[in-house]
Amino acid sequence: MRVRILIILVFGAVVVLFGGPDSFAAYPQTMTTTSPHVNLPRPDDDPRWAKAFAHWDKREETEEAETALLILEEIAKDKPDSFEAQLWLCRVYYLMAVRKRGDKYFSEKGVAAGDAALEIKPGDDAATVWRFSCLLLSRDLTEEEYKEVEALGAKYRSIRPLPEPDDDPLWAKAIKKYDARMDCEQAFAAIRDFKKLDAKYPDRIEPKLYLSWSYYYLGLAEPDKEKKAEFFKTGADWARKAITIETRNPAANYFFIATLGSYVEVEGTLAMVRHSMELAKALILVCEEQPTYMYGGFSRFLAASLAEAGELSFRVAEMLGFSKELIVRLTVYSTKQEPGYFDNHFRLAQMYISLGREEDAKKSLEYVIDGDPADLKYYEPENRIIQKQARKLYDENFK
């Protein structure tokens, strides 16, 4: 049965990477996100920019992304001092590197474009993020580079991970209850308010994002297996609705992975078989659109499947161009960029255990157990639950 599950997972991911019958529909050229690195500036000082973006906005088709890349290369060649040209080249090279199974040609070209962008505009955060994303596909980072990663993470630590609209007074009331979700009654009250907002604004993505994560939290906090599965499944349903509005929205797809992946964890083998293609599609999409979600997201997905498939899950990832070393590297990066988010440390520990790296696993778990859940604003409720899970995993393996 395990081999069958992995075959289905491989097939699902291969369909995503190389095309399938249900390709993505068109989507807005800008997406609802709090990330400052997703919606890059779009110059209009050359008519070729519009042509490049027209192809980029259809990037679900690899040929369209390749055409956009050719046009951007022409612009960069003619305008070597253009920061935007080098930044966009770095971004598109990264997409192609992921889509071409971590191809070093594209990742190294992306690093070079990132270097060029940073020569023109030293210290630019967007260029730094996309350059690091390309670099991670090629090699380990140095201690000096990790210091830069830590500084970059600290700069954006106080940004709310979800949008915070203010065009309706009900938003502030709902978000205040959401922030108090450690009290599950407040979480249910927030859900009622977000449902009202969704009814008032059915074409907006923000209520659906909050609803998905609210149900995810309730699933984490719920001890009863059936109720837990129900909360996760409902959260996945809301994430699906968000995706119908913005197909490639990284938060919506990440929440879909988190909720549906957690549902699969609870329900087991048959659920994995049923939903593997959906998970694979969302996973690759998140990798392509926002690496900061990718670092923890990819490891979370693998950690969930390790219990079912063990070493085979790493073999599947390797077939897709993600080696063990790369997966660990991405997750280590996530712990450096956001040390206060306990889930990444916990998932890293799970992977270390599966790899037989017990001392490394022990250190990661001790970091979570000894850490302050309130250090990361907006994520204290989730951190407290992960801290309990870390204590349990530590006791099972090291006490």
Quote the pLDDT of residue 388.
96
Quote the pLDDT of residue 25.
38
Tell the CATH topology of 1-36+162-283: 1.25.40
Reading the block at residue 355, the tokens are 């790899």
Tell the CATH topology of 290-399: 1.25.40
Tell me the pLDDT of the chain (399 aa) as tens digits.
444 444 344 434 444 443 433 333 344 557 888 888 889 999 999 999 999 999 999 999 999 999 999 999 999 999 999 999 999 999 999 999 988 876 789 999 999 999 999 999 999 999 999 999 999 888 889 999 999 999 988 988 878 889 999 999 999 999 999 999 999 999 999 999 999 999 999 999 999 999 999 999 999 999 999 999 999 999 999 999 999 999 999 999 989 988 998 898 888 778 777 887 888 788 888 888 987 765 555 566 666 565 556 666 667 677 766 777 888 888 888 899 889 999 889 988 988 888 889 999 999 999 999 999 999 989 999 999 999 999 999 999 997
* DSSP-based three-state secondary structure for 162: coil
- For 23-47, the DSSP string reads ------SS---S-TTTS-----SSH
Quote the pLDDT of residue 55.
96
Quote the pLDDT of residue 292.
73
**Options 3.40.980.20, 1.25.40.10, 1.10.3720.10, 1.20.120.1200; which CATH number does 37-155 get?**
1.25.40.10
CATH 1.25.40.10 domain residues, the chain: 1-36+162-283, 37-155
Quote the pLDDT of residue 272.
75
Among candidate residues 113, 156, 170, the one with its CA nearest the CA of residue 378? 156
Reading the block at residue 156, the tokens are 């954006």
Q: Where are the alpha helices (DSSP H) in the chain?
A: 2-18, 47-56, 62-78, 83-99, 104-120, 125-136, 143-155, 169-179, 184-200, 206-221, 225-245, 250-267, 269-289, 291-309, 311-319, 324-337, 342-354, 358-370, 380-397
Give residues with Cβ within 8 angstroms of 395, minimum separation 6. Answer: none
pTM for the whole structure: 0.88
Reading the block at residue 131, the tokens are 């350059």
Among candidate residues 95, 32, 42, 103, the one with its CA nearest the CA of residue 67? 95
Cα 48 from chain centroid (whole Å): 31
According to DSSP, residue 62 is labeled: H
